[in-house]
Amino acid sequence: MEDKRENIIRSAIEEFSKYGYHGTRMENIAKRAGIGKGTIYGYFDSKKTLFYEMIKHGIDEYIRGLNALLSQDKTLEEKLYDIYDFHKSYLKQFMDFRQVIMREREVLPKELMVDILKDLKEIPHSMEKAIKEAIQKGELRKDLNPGIAATIIMGSMGQFYGNKVFSNEDPNSKEIGDLIDTLLRGLK
Amino acid sequence: MEDKRENIIRSAIEEFSKYGYHGTRMENIAKRAGIGKGTIYGYFDSKKTLFYEMIKHGIDEYIRGLNALLSQDKTLEEKLYDIYDFHKSYLKQFMDFRQVIMREREVLPKELMVDILKDLKEIPHSMEKAIKEAIQKGELRKDLNPGIAATIIMGSMGQFYGNKVFSNEDPNSKEIGDLIDTLLRGLK
Amino acid sequence: MEDKRENIIRSAIEEFSKYGYHGTRMENIAKRAGIGKGTIYGYFDSKKTLFYEMIKHGIDEYIRGLNALLSQDKTLEEKLYDIYDFHKSYLKQFMDFRQVIMREREVLPKELMVDILKDLKEIPHSMEKAIKEAIQKGELRKDLNPGIAATIIMGSMGQFYGNKVFSNEDPNSKEIGDLIDTLLRGLK
Amino acid sequence: MEDKRENIIRSAIEEFSKYGYHGTRMENIAKRAGIGKGTIYGYFDSKKTLFYEMIKHGIDEYIRGLNALLSQDKTLEEKLYDIYDFHKSYLKQFMDFRQVIMREREVLPKELMVDILKDLKEIPHSMEKAIKEAIQKGELRKDLNPGIAATIIMGSMGQFYGNKVFSNEDPNSKEIGDLIDTLLRGLK
DNA sequence: GATGAATGAGAGTTCATTCAT
DNA sequence: GATGAATGAACTCTCATTCAT
């Protein structure tokens, strides 16, 4: 059944994101999923395979969620707030898949990595599209390079969230408003 | 001798950054350092200790290098180019210690983590100081929040470099000029 | 199952008594038990734990066996023959736990040692009780100190057996009759 | 020089008797002897060799000491007190070599063991001689088997001392007088 | 001759994977 | 199909021994 797989992947995400690939034990994934450890092998060939499927699944979900946000009929400013919240809740619950992939890039064979990287490039692409729309609507200035604007926005928000977590401060603080204000003011 | 320790730490950085804490084998660190695996234990008590000392050493070096750059008598724009180059060469050779620490936060006992996080907070602090100077010199606008400006600058440059690496593009491309232009234009 | 544990302990007794704590290899215990070395860790936390459990088990068995002998309805002389045989077969098959404990007293933490020593004091206690009965039955003289008599009996028989083993002589020799005669004659 | 060897053996006795053969580290023997760990190998070929030489040395010393006691012009009773004291101080300071040899009998090659066992048989032999003298002097009854008497005396006193140590009682207690009384009364 | 830094074989232990139930 | 007891390769760490100083 598909929801058994889903259930295992869900548990895998939580364990792998906490302990990394080598630090995660199949037994703990099984326990978290409420099943026996042998059962996992009925659905996935190996730890490596499970790891790979988990990444694919996580990226898919992230992209789907991000696209849903970006395709809403809102101003860019509103979308930025949404994106920060989405990013935050995603990171809190799961992980930053780009980091995992970077980190464990020696775990998977090259052909699988290529596959993953292809998916991953979708993310800035989605963001760029939203920027272009904002330029056309006049929310941002015309001479802006959309790729660079996307880099600045995503990078700043990731860094902001990271700083908060490192400092053990509340990532919900209203300073996020200041960040978005400053970003938009610079890009308008 | 201090250069024996240094040599081991150097090899440890390369291995840990490639394979993560659990994925790294003491024997490989030793091989890379050109010594026997037992020798490491003459300089470090355990794998965990070596990991901790490596992080401390790496952060120290990063902070020293960054401060050296920031305290030069140059315009902010020039400094940003320098910082990007520094960051890039650092990441290429070693690793992003913030990522490692985030990732392996279950490895070290809490008291050591606190110690590391204290050091780590020095980094944005250094950057903020440079921003404040730039504001006073009139290179940036007076109403700018220096903390947020630092977040935007460091986040954007990190993201830019990350994207390049992911896409297997040359991170030296002149697009970095566009990024810095856009950043400064927004913050002036 | 309990007989899996029992099987491992059995093998552990044989190995530990032959090679001592530090000289015994977990792999050899496993081989002797006819299982894989990882399997032991399903039943015992560590080598130390196994060692401790083995001692407890061995002492228990010894005390139970000794008590069974002593509570039989026989004369003291008959009992002494039985005890010698029991002691002998026990030592041949397993080991002298008092020696092991003395020898490896640096291996176990103090609280476990206290636990073991408490058990061990049962042994002379059992013997003393038998002596008291013999005194009451008139088999031994009335003014005898039972503790001292027990010490003399157990010590002499242990020494006798030890001498035989050292000299590679047959410990079944009928000289044991002379020893018991001499002992009883002295204590009557 | 001979006293360097002596010094190392002295330290070896203390370490081996505390931790057993496999539990003892060459470095600790060296530290205790106040020399560098490589130096030991200038005097002994290997750990095994040192162990063997230590046993030989210890047995020699024990036999010499025991003979000195037994050849004094005293009654058997007085000698028994001396022997108990000698035994006790010897065990406290060093170890029971018979136990060590029993315990570590798998450590040394057979030919060396044979050599040691030959020495070891000297001990009861010395005691037997003293018993025979006591019989001739009329201190013990004429029909006594000297070997058995020696076994009873040495065994009882060893057991007595062992019990005291196990119970953490003072091994100097005057109960030793009761033991010797009882022994002599039985053997007279 | 004395040293102790360096070595690597070998120890205890873990954990991905298998397979009888 | 699901399980978890069993396995053994592979890990971290120790320590007898060597050898350049």
The Å distance, CA of A38 to C1' of E21, is 13
Residue D88 has a pLDDT of 82
3-state helix, strand, coil in chain A (%, to 5): 75, 0, 25
Q: pLDDT band for position A110 (50/70/90)?
A: confident
Q: For residue C162, which residues of chain D lie inside 8 Å, CB to CB?
A: 98, 102
How far, in Å, is the CA of A18 from the C1' of nucleotide E10?
34
**Mean pLDDT of all residues in D63-77:** 87
What is the token pair recorded at D68?
């000195």
Given a contact cutoff of 8 angstroms between Cβ atoms, the answer to whether A51 and A105 are in contact is no
Question: Has residue A2 got a pLDDT over 70?
Answer: no
E-strand stretches of D46-117: none
Q: Tokens standing for C67? A: 């008590």
CA of D140 to C1' of E13 (A): 60
User: What is chain B's mean pLDDT, rounded?
Assistant: 86
Residue nearest to nucleotide F6 (CA to C1'): C39
What is the per-residue pLDDT for B1?
61
pLDDT digits (tens, 9 = 90+) for D21-55: 898 999 999 999 999 999 999 999 999 999 999 99
User: Is A181's pLDDT higher than 90?
Assistant: no
* pLDDT above 70 as % of chain B: 95
D168 or C151: which leads in pLDDT: C151
What residue has its CA nearest to the C1' of F15? D25
Question: Distances in Å between the alpha carbon of A174 and those of A164, A179, C48, C120, C144?
Answer: 12, 9, 56, 70, 91
Closest nucleotide relative to residue A40's CA, C1' based: F2
Q: Which residue of A has its CA nearest to B100?
A: A103
Residue type, D139: E
* Host domain of residue D28: 1-45
Across the interface, which of A157, A159, A183 has its CB nearest the CB of B154?
A159
Strand F closer than 7 A to residue C109 Cβ: no
Q: Do B103 and A106 touch (CB under 8 A)?
A: no
- Is residue A36 located within the same domain as residue A78? no
Name the nucleotide nearest A39; use CA and C1'.
F2
| One domain, residues D69 and D152 | yes
pLDDT, greater one: B166 or A24:
A24
Q: Tell whether the torsion through CA atoms of D152, D153, D154 and D160 is positive or negative.
A: positive
pLDDT in the model for residue B188: 63
Return the structure tokens found at C84.
């010698």
Span D72-119, pLDDT tens digits: 888 888 888 888 888 888 877 666 677 777 778 788 888 888 888 888
Q: What is the CATH number of the domain that holds B183?
A: 1.10.357.10
Pull the structure tokens for residue A13.
Answer: 């995400």
Q: Do B53 and B19 share a structural domain?
A: no
Among C51, C140, C141, C163, which would you mutate to test the D interface (most chain D Cβ atoms within 10 Å of its Cβ)?
C163
Give the count of beta carbons closer than 10 Å to the beta carbon of residue C34.
9
Instruction: Quickly tell me which residue has 């459990």 as its tokens.
Output: C53
In this structure, what token pair is assigned to residue B67?
A: 């401060």
State the smallest CA–CA distance between residue A52 and chain B in angstroms: 16
Distance CA A56, CA A48 (A): 13
CB of C126 within 8 Å of a chain D CB? The answer is no
Q: How many CB atoms lie within 10 A of CB A48?
A: 14
B49-107: per-residue pLDDT in tens?
999 999 999 888 888 988 898 888 888 889 888 988 888 888 766 666 777 777 787 88
Residue with tokens 């606190």: B114
Question: What is the Cα–Cα distance from B43 to A184, expressed in whole angstroms?
Answer: 52
Same domain, D75 and D148: yes
Q: Find the Å distance, CA of residue A135 to C1' of nucleotide F14.
A: 66
Cβ atoms of A46 and A108 within 8 Å: the answer is no
Q: Helices B122-136 and B47-70, interaxial angle, to 10°?
A: 10
Residues B120 and B168 placed together within one structural domain of the fold:
yes
Task: Give A 3-32 residues with CB within 8 A of chain B.
Answer: 18-23
Q: Domain of A30: which CATH number?
A: 1.10.10.60
Phi, psi of B46 (to 5 degrees): -160, 175
Residue of D nearest to C23 (CA): D22
Question: What is the tally of structural domains in chain D?
Answer: 2
Closest CA in chain D for residue C175: D148
Q: With DSSP H G I counted as helix, E B as strand and the rest as coil, what are the percentages for chain B, rounded to 5?
A: 80, 0, 20
- Pick from C19, C103, C182: CB nearest D106: C19
> At C94, is the pLDDT very low, low, confident or very high (cuts 50, 70, 90)?
low
Q: Which of B104, B158, B186 sits opposite A185 (nearest CB)?
A: B186
DSSP-assigned states of every residue in B126-173: HHHHHHHHHHHTTSS-TT--HHHHHHHHHHHHHHHHHHHHHTT--TTS
Burial of D115 (0-12, 13-18, 19+ CB in 10 A): middle
Q: With 90 as the cut, is the pLDDT of residue C186 above it?
A: no
Q: Which of A154-168, C10-24, D119-133 has the highest mean pLDDT?
A: C10-24
D41 and D52: one domain? Answer: no
What pLDDT, on a 0 to 100 scale, did the predictor assign at position B185?
Answer: 81
Task: Give the tens place of pLDDT for each residue, C14-50.
Answer: 899 888 899 999 999 999 999 999 999 999 999 999 9
Check whether residue B35 has its CB closer than 7 Å to nucleic acid strand F.
Answer: no
Q: Treating both helix axes as pointing N-terminal to C-terminal, what angle do B76-93 and B146-166 enclose, rounded to 10 degrees?
A: 50
**Record: contact B178-A121, CB cut-off 8 A:** no
How far apart CA A22 and CA A108 sit, in angstroms, is 12
- The CA-based angle B51-B57-B58, given to 5 degrees, is 90
CA distance C131 to C80: 11
Reported pTM:
0.86
pLDDT of residue C159: 87
Write the CB contacts of D117 (distance below 8 Å, at least 6 apart in sequence): C166, C167, D101
Contact residues on chain A for B23, CB-CB shorter than 8 A: 20-22, 104, 106-107
Residue labelled with tokens 């037997």:
D128
In the predicted structure, residue C86 carries a pLDDT above the cut 90: no
Q: Do A27 and A111 belong to one domain?
A: no
| pLDDT for A93 beyond 70 | no
How far is residue D108's CA from residue D114's CA, in Å, rounded to a whole number? 10
Judge if D155 and D76 occupy the same domain.
yes
> Which of A156, A157, A160, A165 has the most B C-beta neighbours within 10 Å, making it the best mutation to test the interface with B?
A156
* CB under 8 A, 24+ apart: contacts of A17-20: A17/A94, A17/A95, A17/A100, A18/B106, A19/B22, A19/B106, A20/A100, A20/A103, A20/A104, A20/B20, A20/B21, A20/B22, A20/B23, A20/B103, A20/B104
**One domain for residues C29 and C60:** no
The share of chain D scoring above pLDDT 90, in percent, equals 22
Q: What is the per-residue pLDDT across D150-162, written as a single tens digit (0 to 9) for each?
A: 999 988 988 888 8
Residue C178: pLDDT over 90 = no
Nearest to A100 by CA among A8, A10, A13, A11: A13
Rounded-to-integer distance, Cα A147 and Cα B175, Å: 10
Q: Is B162 near chain A, with CB under 8 Å?
A: yes
Query: Does residue C47 reach within 7 angstroms of strand E, measured from its CB?
Result: yes
Residue A94 has pLDDT above 70, yes or no: no
Same domain? B172 vs B82: yes
Residues from chain B contacting residue A103 (CB–CB below 8 Å): 20, 99, 103
Q: What is the dihedral of CA B166, B170, B175, B180, to 10 degrees?
A: 70
Question: What does the block give as tokens for C88?
Answer: 């002998």
* Residue D105: predicted pLDDT: 77
D121 near C CB under 8 A: yes
d(CA D138, CA B20): 84
In a mutagenesis test of the A interface, which of B94, B108, B182 is the best target, namely the one with the most A β-carbons within 10 Å?
A: B182
Residues 6+ apart with CB under 8 A from C24: C12, C15, C16, C18, C47
Q: What is the mean pLDDT of residues D49-62?
A: 90
B132 touches strand F (CB under 7 A): no
Model pLDDT for residues B107-131, shown as the tens digit of each residue: 888 888 888 888 888 888 888 888 8
Query: Closest approach of chain A CAs to the CA of B181, in angstroms?
Result: 10
**CB-count burial class (<10 Å; 0-12, 13-18, 19+) for C121:** exposed
Mean pLDDT, chain C, integer: 86
Task: Give the span between the Cα atoms of D66 and D69, in whole angstroms.
Answer: 5
Cα–Cα distance, D149 to A16 (Å, whole number): 73
pLDDT exceeding 70 applies to what percent of chain C?
A: 95
Are C and D neighbours with ≥3 CB pairs closer than 8 A?
yes
Q: What is the pLDDT of residues A37-61, one digit of tens each?
A: 999 999 999 999 999 999 999 888 8
CA gap D21, D102 in Å, rounded: 12
Contacts of B158 (CB under 8 A, 6+ apart): A155, A158, A159, B87, B96
In chain C, which residues have their Cβ closer than 8 Å to the Cβ of D20? 20-23, 103-104
Chain E footprint bases within 7 A of protein beta carbons: 1-20
Rounded CA separation D65/D75 (Å): 18
Q: Which chains touch B (3 or more CB pairs under 8 A)?
A: A
pLDDT tens per residue, range D178-188: 889 888 887 66
Selection from A176-180, B170-174, D30-34 with the highest mean pLDDT: D30-34
Predicted local distance difference test score (pLDDT) of residue A161: 86
pLDDT at A8: 95
> What is the token pair recorded at A175?
């300073």
Protein CA B90 to sugar C1' E4 (Å): 37
- C32 burial class (0-12, 13-18, 19+ CB within 10 angstroms)? middle
Q: Residue B17: count other Cβ atoms within 10 Å of its Cβ.
A: 21
D91 and D33 in a single domain? The answer is no
Residues in A 22-61 whose C-beta is less than 7 A from nucleic strand E are 24-27, 37-38, 41, 46-48
Q: Are residues D68 and D121 in the same domain?
A: yes
